[in-house]
Amino acid sequence: MNNSNRLRIAIQKSGRLSDDSIKLLLLCGIKVNLEQQHLISFSQNMPIEVMRVRDDDIPGLIMDGIVELGIVGKNVLEEIALSRQDQEKSIKYQILKDLDFGICRLSLSVPVDKNYFNLKCFNNTCIATSYPYLLKKYLNKEKIQFSSFLLNGSVEVAPRAGLSDAICDLVSTGGTLETNGLREVEVIYHSHACLISSSKDISSFKKKIIEKLLVRITGIITARESKYIMLHIPINKVKEVISLLSGAEHPTILNLVGDKNRVAMHMVSRESIFWETMEKLKILGASSILVLPIEKMME
């Protein structure tokens, strides 16, 4: 239980989620110096302390009520929840927000030269994995008989070393699998980072800070997904632009000085604007097309 008056937020100390987690906290306006090698760093402008730990420790810290907020991959969260369930420990937590980083999938992969038809091919196989609980949950549901062993690193070398028939590991680009002569055959879990909170007693003072952070994080993520678009277009093509940019809401139309046939359109689009869309706008007669990133948004 955290009795301090400061809201504690746990993030990964060093790894794939660290930079994005720190960036998110800074964008939320939390001033904190994370340069030193300290476990806990105090914010200079908010009643917040940031705790930097291994990602595998974050779900437990939340479920035991040691910290109020955490940023962790859903894969780790679900794996730890399953293992704690097995040990009859508390698994209470809340997912407050799905975040837009740490995107990966947990997949089953086999050597490229091995025939694979369907999940039944995993019957009586031995699978190396860092996620035994997620693997067991998935294959048990499919009624596959298998054995597994835990490797917390270098999982991808297990089949070549003659230790296993297959692996169950995280994949993002697929490069690691390819380098190790493996082929991804089944995705068993889609994951991304998420903001989680403890379900234990949280003071109303801390709840207010959490609410404030949540609004800010939602604004940051919406802004990152959105683009501000400006362009010039013949007046009679305005409707076509609107239907082409279907993710854009309520465009602003402005007159252009010295050109009665064309107008300027300004709008926010909730969708990515690809080169293909810009080329289509050009064909419609658009010019001076600008697509700008948005830093913050509040609705």
Residues 37-76 that bind Zn ion (CB under 5 A): 55-56
Nearer to ligand PRT, 106 or 209 (CB): 106
Contact region with ligand PRT (CB under 6 A), list: 12-20, 209-217, 269-277, 279-287: 12-20
Is 173 near ligand PRT (CB under 6 A)? yes
Q: Which two tokens stand for residue 285?
A: 């007669």
Q: What string of DSSP letters covers 49-85?
A: EEEEE-GGGHHHHHHTTS-SEEEEEHHHHHHHHHHHH
Is 186 near ligand PRT (CB under 6 A)? no
Rounded distance, CA 12 to CA 2, Å? Answer: 19
Site string for ligand PRT, 118-157 (x = CB under 6 A): ----------------------------------------
Neighbours of 101 (CB within 10 A): 17
Q: Which two tokens stand for residue 167?
A: 């692996």
Rg of the chain over all Cα atoms, to the nearest angstrom: 24
The size of the interface with Zn ion (CB under 5 A), counted in residues, is 2
Is 16 near ligand PRT (CB under 6 A)? yes
Residue 116 · residue 110 · CB < 8 Å: yes
Is 204 near ligand PRT (CB under 6 A)? no
Is 81 near ligand PRT (CB under 6 A)? no
Rounded to a whole number of angstroms, the minimum distance from the CB of residue 76 to Zn ion is 6
Nearest of 258, 253, 226, 255 to residue 241 by alpha carbon: 253
Q: Which two tokens stand for residue 102?
A: 């740490």
Nearer to ligand PRT, 21 or 226 (CB): 21
Is 77 near ligand PRT (CB under 6 A)? no
Choose, by CB under 6 A, the member of 7, 11, 17, 51 that binds ligand PRT. 17
Is 184 near Zn ion (CB under 5 A)? no
Nearest of 169, 120, 129, 171 to residue 147 by alpha carbon: 129
Degrees (nearest 5) of the Cα angle 222, 225, 228?
95
Rounded to a whole number of angstroms, the minimum distance from the CB of residue 156 to ligand PRT is 6
Binding site for ligand PRT (CB under 6 A): 12, 15-17, 54-56, 73, 75-76, 102, 104, 169-176, 191
The residues binding Zn ion (CB under 5 A) are 55-56
